[in-house]
Amino acid sequence: MKVLNSQIPMKTINVDIQHVLGSISRQDIETLEPKATESLDKVLNATGTGNDFLGWVNLPTETTEALLDDIIACADELRASCDTVVAIGIGGSYLGAKAVVEALNDSFAAYRPGVQGEPKLLFAGQNIGEDYMYELQDYLKDKRFGIIVISKSGTTTEPAIAFRLLKEQLESQLGLEEARKRIVAITDAKRGALRTLATEEGYKTFVIADNVGGRFSVLTPVGLLPIAVAGYDIRALIDGAAEMEKATSAPGENNPSYLYALTRNALYAAGKKIEILVNYNPKLHFFGEWWKQLYGESEGKDNKGIFPAAVDFSTDLHSMGQWIQEGERTIFETVISVAEQQHEKLIPSDEANLDGLNYIAGKHIDEVNKMAELGTRIAHVDGGVPNIHITLPALREKYLGQLIYFFEKACGISGYLLDVNPFNQPGVEAYKRNMFALLAKPGYEKETEAIKARL
């Protein structure tokens, strides 16, 4: 491999692996190329394990105008009839929408009075916090709110609890008929309690295809409807993803997903067991959360897998910086850098200069941030923490669409490089079984007895 960064001839995200070369050699990377090519082939031609969950691969180019029209019309109705919309869901039924909306939103959107036609998008069912639900319901008691309830299986406990409470509240605030018009369900076409409930109540519904797993579903109605309700351009998001779908369809260093998957696995083979996804923009915090689920659930199995962590710099340089610089040398970082900011803010000059900051007066805050980023990357490389560098042109729908698809494709390739099934998550069931046993769920009698004996 000659090229060290993917170079696609369009304005797009860019992946640069130069700064891993102090820790691993080109040879280490090249050795994995035949297997990476085979792994990409498994993703594209559905010949690997878990191949019944590859519906996301061609999703961007196959998303129909009719579906986008339907989602946008539904979002417009909710936006017209509600001042607040609560998206209920957990894991893959939550994190993608949350990541995109947070990346695009004004940082203080939650504290600004709602502008007409711009409902606040809140989230529920992503935890089992009693105070969270109390406070949410208290907030909603004088609001014209609507609900998007999302669960692929239609049986997940966290969102089911939140939906039961919010449905009851909406019905008591609006009456049964009106409430039904403000509830949209996104679930499996046929299976699950949510499908039964939605059919019984006559809710508007969208289907999550059988062959798209939860953590790969952000570009389906699961992510697209909440994102459209928040006022963002889902066509641009899909267009960006479609560009990336095309750019990642052949093996080689110009395929950014291939390059990233290959490099992180070469690092893993060299003993770098932890990957931290680093952002220098607070709006990307939840992108890190989405990425953690994507890679954690896809790769952490069979006693293998890079541990995915995420940090927000420079904030976390003042908490995690010491560990990263000098702790156990088992980590590498993947830095997401946003090239352009949406707004301008310069550092003012001050005649007294008591804080000693005049040496940066007149500079953009982002220039200081970029120097913090560069200085940190160099320090980390010097300290034995290699970094992969991803540049995102700006926080806009199109580039976020590219970034989402880039990571999804890389995740599929990477899982196959690791010889795991990237599309199942058997380990997630263990806590559920115990929780159901402890709560004495009907059908879990034996488990209840067994777990009680251990307490």
Burial, 154: exposed, middle or buried (Cβ in 10 Å; 0-12, 13-18, 19+)? Answer: buried
Residue 318 designated active-site: yes
Among 120, 215, 264, 380, binds ligand PA5 (CB under 6 A): 215
Would you count residue 275 as binding ligand PA5 (CB under 6 A)? Answer: no
**C-alpha to C-alpha distance for 64 and 87, rounded to whole angstroms:** 23
**Candidates 136-144, 146-154, 282-290, 378-386 — which segment interacts with ligand PA5 by CB under 6 A?**
146-154
**Bridge partners, residue 221, by sequence:** none
- Number of residues lying near ligand PA5 (CB under 6 A): 14
Sites for ligand PA5 among residues 396-455 (CB under 6 A): 425
Instruction: State which residue, 286 or 313, has the beta carbon closest to ligand PA5.
Output: 286
Instruction: State which residue, 337 or 425, has the beta carbon closest to ligand PA5.
Output: 425
Sites for ligand PA5 among residues 152-171 (CB under 6 A): 152-153, 156, 159
Reference 159, options 185, 141, 181, 135; nearest CA is 185
Beta strands 183-187 and 204-207: pairing type?
A: parallel
**Candidates 54-62, 88-96, 341-349, 433-441 — which segment interacts with ligand PA5 by CB under 6 A?**
88-96
Residue 19 designated active-site: no
Would you count residue 96 as binding ligand PA5 (CB under 6 A)? Answer: no
| Annotated catalytic residue within 2, 318, 343, 345 | 318
Conformation bin of residue 440: beta by default, left when phi > 0, alpha when psi is -120 to 50: left
Residue 297 designated active-site: yes
Instruction: State which residue, 20 or 420, has the beta carbon closest to ligand PA5.
Output: 420
| Annotated catalytic residue within 297, 299, 333, 397 | 297
- Cβ-closest position to ligand PA5: 214
Tell me the per-residue interface mask from 278 to 317 with ligand PA5, x by CB under 6 A, - otherwise.
-------------------x--------------------
Tell me the per-residue interface mask from 65 to 84 with ligand PA5, x by CB under 6 A, - otherwise.
--------------------
- State residue 242 phi and psi, 5-degree precision: -65, -40
Would you count residue 91 as binding ligand PA5 (CB under 6 A)? Answer: yes
**Candidates 3-11, 57-65, 85-93, 235-243 — which segment interacts with ligand PA5 by CB under 6 A?**
85-93
Would you count residue 333 as binding ligand PA5 (CB under 6 A)? Answer: no
Instruction: State which residue, 256 or 422, has the beta carbon closest to ligand PA5.
Output: 422
Instruction: State which residue, 55 or 251, has the beta carbon closest to ligand PA5.
Output: 55
**C-alpha to C-alpha distance for 45 and 341, rounded to whole angstroms:** 39
Q: Which residues make up the interface to ligand PA5 (CB under 6 A)?
A: 90-93, 151-153, 156, 159, 213-215, 297, 425
The residues assigned a catalytic role are: 297, 318, 432
